[in-house]
Chains A and B, each alone.
Chain A
């Protein structure tokens, strides 16, 4: 599914906080259908770069192209509207609601616009369809999210993002704080994204995970891009070298 056409291009992005240069001339490309690993040590600029893409920060200079068209992303709402979905590290789910309610939060299926009575059965049925599409094994859409395992919760979060029909996904440390068995399941879901042709940026500190699911790796160090490598043409050691010592 991986092609060379770019779904996203960030060109010469600069961002400073006071005297601190957080991003210095960073250019990033995401190709159609690929999973791009975004790695770097703490304070490398990964979060800042993604916050610019999701409209939480504004770049001091630089351009963003989506599907070849230049876009100005000045709010998280606009980023979402442009088809950029982010799955956050701290799980943006309501623990007190069930799976179906979380998947449809903010865009519930309703019978009428006045009283907003829910079409629960339809929501539950669609939830199963969304989860099955990504081969997520949760058959009880009425189960409360706080009763799911960490991996299952992450799966629901990814399922929720995918259900919006996004152009691309940003996965922020989706395997952090998970047990080994759970990590495998989440990575399987990321591979499913590739099968469905949904491009994704995969932010992680765990290089094992990056090499299991990513087609290319983009390395940031001290706010500068130091390397972009195909995972098939590089090694753990080389990436670690880039992350901590630069070029």
Chain B
């Protein structure tokens, strides 16, 4: 009896495994980004004895959570064929409002709600300009980026303002099963975006509008509203990333992300999204975030001068865009 069960269970398990493998889309972009991640990990583990330590891995994954949360949010407008370079500015502005409010005696819970509402308003402004006034998304979000950043500087008087509290310390330095809480938050955001885009009508409409806006319109989809909500979602992700940022740093910093404005876009493009819209998988973006995190961590471990780091980051952006262009998503 036992033998029979073993004999039947084994092929079933094998079948399930192969079914799982078959379900994965082994198209070029996902495989190439995975190979890039493995090559980088192999290189840095050979060149630095600290790279493959648990402490270092947790350290760079935790550092990548802010980038990761924003990239998961940015993935949505980028599938639609838009772009948002104002996320770090939305982060700076929403956290500036949150921290200054708390420092003036506001309840932290209420301050957090206000910060999220401000970010949603920023996203709604961006979304309205792009979807209803049909202004180019990159120009819109570049302008918005400068405005939101300027307000953040005004509110904080260009200073880093500290904040403390149990909520922030749990998110910033708390751990669950040895893994930082912020990592769970990041993975949760990726999971929500994945479920929304894969299993809901709204998510499939995001892909439809990115793939063929005209066909979507003729099919009765309100293309403008899909475009509007795309930019609201990326701003909401920036607000969430802002809360994690303040929790990890212990302060709002008006210059947050100034050195790496394009990091989020780079991570999403590295993950295999098409700049033309309609194509891309959220798991690719997660791997893209890890590639950037590994690269930055590895360069620090190898004591690469910051100027070289900037050159490498720029080269990675160009490489990612070049690969996208080769795949057919380039400028037409």
Question: Which one of B215, B216, B279 has the greatest number of beta carbons of chain A within 10 Å?
Answer: B215
Interface digits, A85-100 against B, CB 8 Å rule (1 contact, 0 not)? 0001000111111000
Q: Which of A21-29, A113-121, A179-187, A192-200 contacts B (4 or more CB under 8 A)?
A: A113-121
Cβ-defined contact, A110 with B201, below 8 A = yes
Cβ-defined contact, B219 with A105, below 8 A = yes
Cβ-defined contact, A118 with B200, below 8 A = yes
Cβ-defined contact, B200 with A92, below 8 A = no
Cβ-defined contact, A94 with B278, below 8 A = yes
Cβ-defined contact, A76 with B207, below 8 A = no
Cβ-defined contact, B212 with A93, below 8 A = yes
What's the interface size class on A, roughly? 20 to 34
Contact flag A106-B207 (CB < 8 Å), given A94-B216, A95-B212, A96-B279: no
Tell me if B210 counts as interface (CB < 8 A to partner A).
yes
Interface digits, B50-63 against A, CB 8 Å rule (1 contact, 0 not)? 00000000000000
Chain A residues whose CB sits within 8 angstroms of the CB of B216 once the complex forms: 94, 105-106
Interface digits, A142-164 against B, CB 8 Å rule (1 contact, 0 not)? 00000000000000000000000
Bound together, the chains give a CA A76 to CA B202 distance in angstroms of 23
Contact flag A96-B207 (CB < 8 Å), given A105-B221, A116-B201, A118-B201: yes
The smallest beta-carbon distance between B220 and chain A, in angstroms, is 4
Contact flag A96-B210 (CB < 8 Å), given A116-B200, A117-B199, A117-B200: yes
Cβ-defined contact, A96 with B202, below 8 A = no
The smallest beta-carbon distance between A163 and chain B, in angstroms, is 11
Tell me if A108 counts as interface (CB < 8 A to partner B).
yes
Interface digits, B197-220 against A, CB 8 Å rule (1 contact, 0 not)? 001111011011011101110111
Cβ-defined contact, A106 with B220, below 8 A = yes
Chain A residues whose CB sits within 8 angstroms of the CB of B221 once the complex forms: 105-106
The smallest beta-carbon distance between B206 and chain A, in angstroms, is 11
Chain B residues whose CB sits within 8 angstroms of the CB of A69 once the complex forms: none
Contact flag A118-B211 (CB < 8 Å), given A105-B221, A107-B220: no
Question: Which one of A76, A94, A95 has the greatest number of beta carbons of chain B within 10 Å?
Answer: A94
Question: Which one of A77, A101, A105, A118 has the greatest number of beta carbons of chain B within 10 Å?
Answer: A105
Cβ-defined contact, B204 with A96, below 8 A = no
Chain B residues whose CB sits within 8 angstroms of the CB of A101 once the complex forms: 204, 208
Bound together, the chains give a CA A94 to CA B205 distance in angstroms of 10
Chain B residues whose CB sits within 8 angstroms of the CB of A110 once the complex forms: 200-201
Main secondary structure of the interface of A (DSSP, over half): loop
The smallest beta-carbon distance between B281 and chain A, in angstroms, is 12
Cβ-defined contact, A108 with B201, below 8 A = yes
Bound together, the chains give a CA A147 to CA B54 distance in angstroms of 44
Cβ-defined contact, B220 with A118, below 8 A = no
Bound together, the chains give a CA A8 to CA B210 distance in angstroms of 36
Q: Which residues of A (6-50) have their CB < 8 Å from a CB of B?
A: none
The smallest beta-carbon distance between A114 and chain B, in angstroms, is 10
Contact flag A93-B215 (CB < 8 Å), given A107-B220, A118-B199: yes
Chain A residues whose CB sits within 8 angstroms of the CB of B205 once the complex forms: 105-106
Q: Which residues of B (235-284) have their CB < 8 Å from a CB of A?
A: 278-279
- In chain A, what residue has the closest Cβ to B218? A92
Bound together, the chains give a CA A232 to CA B214 distance in angstroms of 39
Cβ-defined contact, B211 with A96, below 8 A = yes
Bound together, the chains give a CA A93 to CA B202 distance in angstroms of 17
Cβ-defined contact, B201 with A94, below 8 A = no
Cβ-defined contact, A94 with B207, below 8 A = yes
Interface digits, B98-142 against A, CB 8 Å rule (1 contact, 0 not)? 000000000000000000000000000000000000000000000
Contact flag A94-B211 (CB < 8 Å), given A105-B221, A106-B220: yes
Contact flag A105-B208 (CB < 8 Å), given A92-B214, A92-B215: yes
Chain A residues whose CB sits within 8 angstroms of the CB of B200 once the complex forms: 110, 115-118
Cβ-defined contact, B219 with A106, below 8 A = yes
- In chain A, what residue has the closest Cβ to B222? A106
Bound together, the chains give a CA A93 to CA B211 distance in angstroms of 9
Bound together, the chains give a CA A108 to CA B199 distance in angstroms of 11
Chain B residues whose CB sits within 8 angstroms of the CB of A96 once the complex forms: 207-208, 210-212, 278-279
Bound together, the chains give a CA A77 to CA B219 distance in angstroms of 10
The smallest beta-carbon distance between B207 and chain A, in angstroms, is 6
The smallest beta-carbon distance between A8 and chain B, in angstroms, is 20
Chain A residues whose CB sits within 8 angstroms of the CB of B201 once the complex forms: 108, 110, 116-118
Q: Could you show 15 A-B contacts with beta carbons less than 8 Å apart?
A: A92-B218, A93-B212, A94-B211, A95-B278, A96-B211, A96-B278, A96-B279, A97-B204, A97-B207, A105-B205, A106-B216, A106-B221, A107-B220, A118-B201, A118-B204
Please name the 4 residue pairs, one residue from A and one from B, whose CB atoms are nearest each other, closest first: A106-B219, A96-B211, A106-B220, A108-B201
Q: A95-B211, A97-B207 are in contact. List 16 more A-B contacts (CB 8 A).
A: A76-B218, A93-B212, A94-B207, A94-B212, A94-B216, A96-B207, A96-B208, A96-B210, A96-B212, A96-B278, A97-B211, A105-B208, A106-B205, A106-B216, A116-B200, A118-B201
